[in-house]
Amino acid sequence: MFNTDFLDIPALDSAHGTVSLPGSKSISNRVLLLAALSQGTTTIHDLLDSDDTQVMLAALKQLGCRITPDAVTPGQAIEVTGIGGQLPAGTAATLFLGNAGTAMRPLTAALSVLGGQFEMTGVARMYERPIGDLVDALRQLGCQIDYLKDEGFPPLKIGQPDFSQLSRESIKVRGDVSSQFLTSLLMALPLLAKGRDITIEVVGELISKPYIHITLELLARFGITVKNDNWQRFVIPAGSSYQSPGNIHVEADASSASYFIALGAIATDTAEQQSIKILGVGKDSIQGDIRFIEAAQAMGAQVESGPNWLQVSRGSWPLKAIDLDCNHIPDAAMTLGVMALYAHGTTTLRNIASWRVKETDRIAAMATELRKLGATVEEGADYIRITPPTEKSTWKAASIHTYDDHRVAMCFSLAAFNPAKLPVRIEDPKCVAKTFPDYFEALFSVCKTDDEAEHEHALAHAQHYERSRIPVICIDGPTASGKGTIAAEVAKALGYGLLDSGALYRITGLAASRAGLALDDSNEETIAEMAMEMPVRFDAQQRVWLGDEDISLAIRSEAAGMNASRVSALPAVRSALVNLQLSFQQLPGLVADGRDMGTVIFPHAPLKVYLWASAQCRAERRHKQLISKGISANISTLLADLEARDARDMNRSTAPLKPAEDSLQLDSSEMTIDQVVAQVLSWWQERQPFGRA
């Protein structure tokens, strides 16, 4: 997950490949609560690991459910042992539910019926999301619920219910604000249906019927068969009792599939027989948002499907504008708003009033951000009308504010395919953790720039090629100038990949010395062949791996540094490592540190920094670093070694150490790490079309 303040997505050109989707949030949290209310242990497969499911799991643990393992692990099932429809007497807790409506509303209903003393809390946005209609319905039963702040909104205080006056009349709830109110009652009221039927009557039009369909399907899996009378009356039969189904699988999220369905319609090349294959959900899904396929097809997408997969490619181009009632796909419809940018004509999305009370006011948010890109947008109480930029020249590079809303972040990432080839900035990209923590990684895994395709051709023919669309920041400098530390911090701040080119030479030196090779020109070709085959990788924790071995410490010794300097002087070795270094230039961008990143490897990088400090200063820093690690060191010896290494690096025949002509030189002798990082980031921001962050 990109845990940065913003994520800059370069202009993208095409997409092709396979994506595996995470589990559905709507199904995951419903299944967790139903398992918790049931008798017995439920084994849940493919549960979504996200912010919303994490707060639900934490709440269920507070209520006494046994959950193993303690955290969601990819590929591993989770077991929930339920409370059998009854909490221990005197149960009390304060539950923090973040901004998870799929946790706040159903738990409020269930706990109000079960009884106890509870406070239901969350983030500030949760306190702006209405819950009054659900509270009113529960109070009809005799539930005790008080508002702790504003009337009609969380936070809430729940007390012991009084069902002594429970009537046989139907429980009324509004259906035109959020389907989660009805879902919450449907999951809570089987706990009361001991000796008689309980009827829920919907007042007004029921929005988001597909989400109620999900609820009814899952209730049936847990032993509750609800009679659905034309979506207006729902009857929970007498004697209802939750029973674990034993095992249950969570479908992949159909709403998340919408971004990749749209991607296939926008970015695949039919001439190259490209497509996007989506694993984890098919047309037979119980989720209503699967009908997004129909809307995408109406706009021009070509879609094939199987039991648990979809395959999408471009059909009509440009896409066709549509006028659509989106009541049946309220979440996925947001993706249509961005697809409209690539359509011929004006697209109108209707019956979307529920957008106003989601994680943010989504109608207002979509209108504001689409206008930033150059679209003409009209918004109403329950509709949005979108006309794309009229010409390539009227597209704008935009910094998209995401409002802590995962769906805003994900759908606007598709704007990077704009015909003007402009980058798009996504602010607060980590908000996607609510439902799809690895969304951007999944997106980048199937997307390419035109440059990348040409680069692959160049590599196949041993040609040097620069992928100019994928940004690179080069940080060069002499030994111990701090460039590695600075590069790592800059990469972390931007969410970019990291290339420690010096480590590649250290790894080569280590591998050659382990093989018993003298590090001189007598073994130059042998070492070069070894370098080309090294299975090297850098992970997110900035560890360095050679195959399955973590060699991070082994390559940081003084001896390893000297060996690196020796092998770097061998021209054949340097040539062997060029393609390896070029391969690190991947989406969304790269920070490369070394001695020739800006002069030899990435000569067209948009920002080149030459970082230096006096030899005395560098020796003192290295001495302090070694002493902090418990390694004895002598400043005079370190100074002499640095000066000797500087002379060798500056005078070598191949790629001598020197600043690139267009580099920005930075003397860090009197600067802290934070100050240097801030300066590099400031220089980078000056080169972006979005202005300063």
Let me know the angle formed at the C-alpha of 178 by 174 and 179, rounded to the nearest 5 degrees.
Answer: 85
H or E element, residue 642: helix 635-651
Strand order in 227-229's β-sheet?
171-174, 198-203, 233-236, 227-229
User: From the candidates 49, 51, 133, 331, which is the catalytic residue?
Assistant: 331
548 is catalytic: no
Residue 128 is classified by DSSP as G
Per-residue b/e over 315-325, b at no fewer than 16 CB within 10 Å? beeebbbbebe
Tokens 């093989």 label which residue?
A: 515
Tokens 């995951």 label which residue?
A: 28
Q: In the 3-class helix/strand/coil scheme, how is 6-60 assigned residue by residue?
A: EEEECCCCEECEEEECCECHHHHHHHHHHHHHCECEEEEECCCCCHHHHHHHHHH
Please report which residue ranges of 313-438 form alpha helices under DSSP H: 333-339, 362-372, 406-412
Can you tell me the distance from the alpha carbon of 322 to that of 324, in angstroms, rounded to the nearest whole number? 6
Reduce the DSSP state of residue 556 to 3 states and report it: helix
Give the count of beta carbons closer than 10 Å to the beta carbon of residue 413. 25
Beta strands in 287-328 (DSSP E): 301-306, 309-314, 319-320, 323-325
Following CA atoms 523, 524, 527, 533 in sequence, which dihedral angle do they give, to the nearest 10 degrees?
Answer: -140
Q: Which two tokens stand for residue 58?
A: 């934490």
Q: Which of 67, 66, 165, 55 is nearest to 106 (CA)?
A: 55
Q: Which of 111, 113, 88, 118 is nearest to 192 (CA)?
A: 113
Give the count of beta carbons closer than 10 Å to the beta carbon of residue 547. 9
Distance, C-alpha 223 to centroid of its chain: 35
CB 465 within 8 A of CB 455: yes
- For 394, phi then psi, to 5°, come to -95, -5
Residues classed as catalytic = 331
